[in-house]
Amino acid sequence: MTIPEYAVSSVSHPFALQKQWDSPLWQQASALSIATFRPESTSHRPQTEAKLLCSPVALHGFFRVRDRYVRCVHDRFQQPVYQDSCVEFFVQPTAGSGYFNFEFNCGGAMLASYIVDHTRTDNGFRDFTRLTMEQGSQVSIYHSLPALVEPEICDDITWFIEFHLPFGLLEKYVGPLGEIKGQVWRANFYKCGDKTSHPHWASWSPVDDLNFHLPRCFGRISF
One-letter amino acid of 142: Y
Task: Give the pLDDT band of residue 2 (cuts 50, 70, 90).
Answer: confident
Within-domain flag for 30: yes
The domain of 63 spans 20-222
For residue 42, the tally of other CB atoms under 10 A from its CB is 14
Taking the C-alpha atoms of residue 24 and residue 46, their distance in angstroms, rounded to an integer, is: 26
Q: Count structural domains, the chain.
A: 1
**Residue pLDDT, tens place only, 13-40:** 999 999 999 999 999 999 999 999 999 9
Within-domain flag for 9: no
Q: Are 11 and 54 in contact (CB under 8 A)?
A: yes
**34 in helix, strand or coil?**
coil
Distances (CA, A) of 168 to 1, 36, 75, 129: 34, 32, 26, 17
**The CATH number of the domain where 65 resides is what?**
2.60.40.1190
- Model confidence pTM above 0.85: yes
Within-domain flag for 191: yes
**Residue pLDDT, tens place only, 109-143:** 999 999 999 999 998 999 999 999 999 999 999 99
Within-domain flag for 32: yes
**Residue pLDDT, tens place only, 151-189:** 999 999 999 999 999 999 999 999 999 999 999 999 999
In this structure, the dihedral spanned by the alpha carbons of residues 1, 205, 116 and 132, taken in order and rounded to 10 degrees, is 180
Closest CA to 177 of 115, 116, 113, 223: 223
